[in-house]
Amino acid sequence: MKTQAEQVVWVQAVSYEDLAFNTGKTIRYQDEEVALFKLRSGKLQAIQNRCPHKEGVLAEGIVCDDHVFCPMHDRKIHLPSGLVQAPDTGCVKTYHTRVDDEGTIYIGFPTSEEMAC
């Protein structure tokens, strides 16, 4: 069985201290775009940056607790799971994050195409 470290490439994103609370930050790696959030609790969440409805930029959305509201048509997305909340449907990919000893945030990008929401 592979470990998490063997299945992802860790990409340096931003300093934890420089990331504002409840404000999204767009992180790009190859052809993937991720919305990174630091919630009020201090927890990090990283999701696919494009809304499944009409590709609204989720890093520009409004964060409330552990959800983000798409800035285009207000769909509500649960950050830990990536699930669009009822009455709408759909999902976005979620990504692992980690913070090193210097306080730098890394996002884990999967090395295979298996990752789906």
Point out which residues bind ligand FES (CB under 6 A).
51, 53-54, 56, 70, 72-73, 75
Measured at the alpha carbon of residue 108, what is the angle toward residues 42 and 81, in degrees to the nearest 5?
Answer: 60
User: Where do the DSSP E strands lie in 1-117?
Assistant: 8-15, 25-29, 32-38, 44-48, 62-64, 67-69, 76-78, 94-99, 104-110
Say which DSSP state 59 is in: G
User: In the complex, what is the shortest distance from the CB of residue 71 to ligand FES, in angstroms, rounded to a whole number?
Assistant: 7
C-beta of 74: minimal distance to ligand FES in Å? Answer: 6
Question: Which tokens sit at 49?
Answer: 């940056």
Choice between 50 and 96, CB closer to ligand FES: 50
CB of 47 to ligand FES, least distance (A): 12
Q: Tell me how far, at minimum, the Cβ of 88 lies from ligand FES, in Å.
A: 7
Which DSSP string do the residues of 80-112 spell out, in sequence order?
TT-BBPTTS--B--EEEEEE-TTSEEEEEEESS
Task: Give 13 or 84: the residue with its C-beta nearer to ligand FES.
Answer: 84
Residue number, 11 or 91, with CB nearest to ligand FES:
91
Residue with smaller CB distance to ligand FES, 14 or 66: 66
